[in-house]
Amino acid sequence: MADQVITLSDVAAAAGVSLSTASKALNGTDRISEATREHVRTTADRLGFRHNALARSFARGRSQTIGVLTHRASNPFTRVVLATAATELGAKEQAILLYDARIGDRDVTESILQLRARRIDGVIVIGTGTSFPSPSLTSRFDVPVIYAFTFTEDPDDVTITADDQEIGRLAIRHLLSKGRRRIAHITAEPHDNAAQRRAAGAEEVLAEAGLQWASPVRFGRWREDWGEEAVAELLAEAPDVDAIFCGSDAIGRGAERAVRASGRDVPGDVALIGVDNWEQLMHDQRVSRHLTTIDVGLEEIGRQVAAHLLDPDPQPGVRYVTPQVVTAKTT
Amino acid sequence: MADQVITLSDVAAAAGVSLSTASKALNGTDRISEATREHVRTTADRLGFRHNALARSFARGRSQTIGVLTHRASNPFTRVVLATAATELGAKEQAILLYDARIGDRDVTESILQLRARRIDGVIVIGTGTSFPSPSLTSRFDVPVIYAFTFTEDPDDVTITADDQEIGRLAIRHLLSKGRRRIAHITAEPHDNAAQRRAAGAEEVLAEAGLQWASPVRFGRWREDWGEEAVAELLAEAPDVDAIFCGSDAIGRGAERAVRASGRDVPGDVALIGVDNWEQLMHDQRVSRHLTTIDVGLEEIGRQVAAHLLDPDPQPGVRYVTPQVVTAKTT
DNA sequence: AAAGGAAGCGAAAGCGGTTTCGCAAATCAC
DNA sequence: GTGATTTGCGAAACCGCTTTCGCTTCCTTT
């Protein structure tokens, strides 16, 4: 497949103009007569010329590459954001260079130097969306830095993340709209940022409706078996509960099993709503849903990250992606 | 921040040697006295020199970038392979440039030209692991091309994919080892390659054990509701079935619900095993499992892809990644 | 002691473009 | 019709590094 790769000087020669003229003609820069420009263009096309992107980037000092810093690239949420952003960026000829904190033995400073040496055009920091703020690295780069699915200490950083509070609100509003009034909440670790905010949003709507939790919020883990365990306790304590807002779909799955095991019908006796849209994350195709859930908008985060990165000057600050209720069979 | 970026000639000047000597000293190429080499190195360190990776790649004609061609990057399996490969490659300073067939409006030929123009160092083609072979693109590049989670028409292509037949074997062996004998199989579309091969592997082991399916294999869709539906039929037809091999975890989830709904205990009356290791794909942490499943080794595929790409000359042919049984509560 | 080979280093070319700058021709102002 | 601009293009510098090539030294051989 060694078809001779043709260079800009080939084009220039064939068109009978100088190398610089050819460059300017194809780039649309500088003053070139429309005739010449067109002539160069057609000869370039005829010869099947394509820029040597590498040399080109080099001459321009831009690598057409975005650095990505993750805490744990194998985290499934991280993966979604990563894959979506990579897809969008790829469509714009931007490559990504991923440094995963878990794999690399280099520390962050080393990664930063490495990325700078590579003359990357921008940086994405992808967090796990749950607990700790990411340290702000913005000032250590001279290119745009965008934080995805996390937050930082610096309010001026460009951040795109999930709206956990709104997730909580949506969940409760949805359950209320289905006529449920005796609602409980099972979620993860009490110190988890996402868990806290989802609970807070939920309580807000509950209070607005003049209601209270049917039973105190149960904090535990992001795990299926916790859902099962917590529901067992819950039903013992508040047997008349008619809806459970589960902090994640995994918890929701466990919860559903426990509810059914108690002889109750879902959603007849107890409605269930989760968070994550696990099924779509796993299947992508338009499958028929089982568990009603809230999509936190990970793909949208990935898309917006890519868009902001290509934007010459993105507005600083936190941008929350709006979550969506995905109705299925459990409510 | 804007600390003056120092170049190789700065180092050379500071070390009192020529630019070329400095280059050779730092690269370990050519004959340079150990003294000079060391001297250059220390001055480079002292000055905090880092190669301009872009210029460097350019001079070497290698972009430190791997092209990735996907059919559908939003497919969750694709994502796992992609993210894992990207992580491994990132650790080796290789960026990835992703062209997703679904997003890009360019056709494959255009993508290929684009990638070649960018002087990529290698190509990964990621398939969906299920149905059709990927067209062989190897001859259209002059760099290594590796196919992941798919197969091609050309047996000499370097391919790394799941061992669906072995998955089927493992599933049945596992069920047999648990003392099950009346085994059924619920899986996806009959023309789906993965579904076929999993079924074939399963039947092989079944036959070796002198057994037959407790009921004919039920082909349907890769969906949770299909699992539910199929189990209902199955139990009506073969009420004494004591194990079900589900073609995927999604099917398995639906199946479990239907089994329990019939009043049977899992795994007491009916054991269930799925495929995909959905829970790990979703959670990554070492969670307690619920559904017994078979991990097809997507991450391993990603790792091997990266390794083969960096390997100067990988052996041609198909390489199957060994699946693993992940035992949990349903068997 | 002369010849041959190896070691060590620098000059210079080259990679494939972009961009500055200067010059000549064409256009404009009056 | 003359001077002042503008327009169009090419020569050359440049980006930062790698690599070839050739020139010295210095060490072996015999």
- Cβ distance A98 to B86 less than 8 Å, yes or no, reads yes
At residue A268, the pLDDT reads: 94
- Check: CB of residue A296 under 8 Å from CB of residue A321: yes
At residue B282, the pLDDT reads: 73
Of A52, A68, A118, the CB nearest to B53: A118
Of A72, A88, A223, the CB nearest to B287: A223
The answer to whether some atom of strand C lies closer than 7 Å to the beta carbon of B4 is no
Q: How confident is the model at residue A2 (pLDDT cuts 50, 70, 90)?
A: very low
Restricting to A residues 209-248, those with a Cβ less than 8 Å away from any Cβ of B are 222-225
Query: Which nt sits closest to B20, CA to C1'?
Result: C10
Query: Which nt sits closest to B10, CA to C1'?
Result: D16
CA closest to A104 among chain B residues: B91
3-state secondary structure of B14: helix
Q: Which of B66, B61, B27 is nearest to B310 (CA)?
A: B66
pTM of structure? 0.93
Contacts of A96 in chain B (CB under 8 A): 86, 95-98
Q: What are phi and psi of B310, to 5 degrees?
A: -85, -15
Provide mean pLDDT across the span B151-160: 93
Restricting to A residues 150-209, those with a Cβ less than 8 Å away from any Cβ of B are none
A60 interface with B at CB cutoff 8 Å: no
Report the percentage of chain B scoring pLDDT > 70. 98
A93 interface with B at CB cutoff 8 Å: yes
At residue A1, the pLDDT reads: 44
The answer to whether some atom of strand C lies closer than 7 Å to the beta carbon of A21 is no
Provide mean pLDDT across the span B38-47: 91
Please write the tens of the pLDDT for every residue from B288-317: 689 999 999 999 999 999 999 988 778 899
Provide mean pLDDT across the span A236-241: 96
Distance (Å, whole) CA B255 – CA B269: 13
Provide mean pLDDT across the span A18-43: 89
Strands A293-295 and A324-326: antiparallel
Instruction: Tell me the shortest Cα–Cα distance from B184 to chain A, in angstroms.
Output: 23
At residue B285, the pLDDT reads: 62
Q: What value does the mean pLDDT of chain B take?
A: 92
Distance (Å, whole) CA B206 – CA B169: 8
* Closest residue to D10 measured CA to C1′: A18
Distance (Å, whole) CA B297 – CA B11: 47
The answer to whether some atom of strand C lies closer than 7 Å to the beta carbon of A51 is yes
Instruction: Tell me the shortest Cα–Cα distance from A115 to chain B, in angstroms.
Output: 9
Please write the tens of the pLDDT for every residue from B203-258: 999 999 999 999 999 999 998 899 999 999 999 999 999 999 999 999 999 999 99
Contacts of B283 in chain A (CB under 8 A): 76, 222-223, 250
CB atoms near residue A77 (< 10 Å)? 23
Distance in Å, residue A234 CA to nucleotide D21 C1': 83
Strand partners, B184: B244
CA distance readout (Å), B26 to A106, A118, A252, B14: 20, 17, 57, 14
- Cβ distance A261 to B260 less than 8 Å, yes or no, reads yes
Record the tokens describing residue A108, joined without a space: 């962050």
- Check: CB of residue A225 under 8 Å from CB of residue B288: yes
At residue A285, the pLDDT reads: 62
Record the tokens describing residue A165, joined without a space: 């509070």
3-state secondary structure of A160: strand
Quote the DSSP letter at residue A60.
Answer: H
Provide mean pLDDT across the span B68-86: 93
Q: Does residue A294 surpass a pLDDT of 50?
A: yes
B32 interface with A at CB cutoff 8 Å: no
Distance in Å, residue A20 CA to nucleotide C28 C1': 28
Task: Mutate one of B26, B72, B79 to test the A interface: name it (highest A CB count within 10 A).
Answer: B79
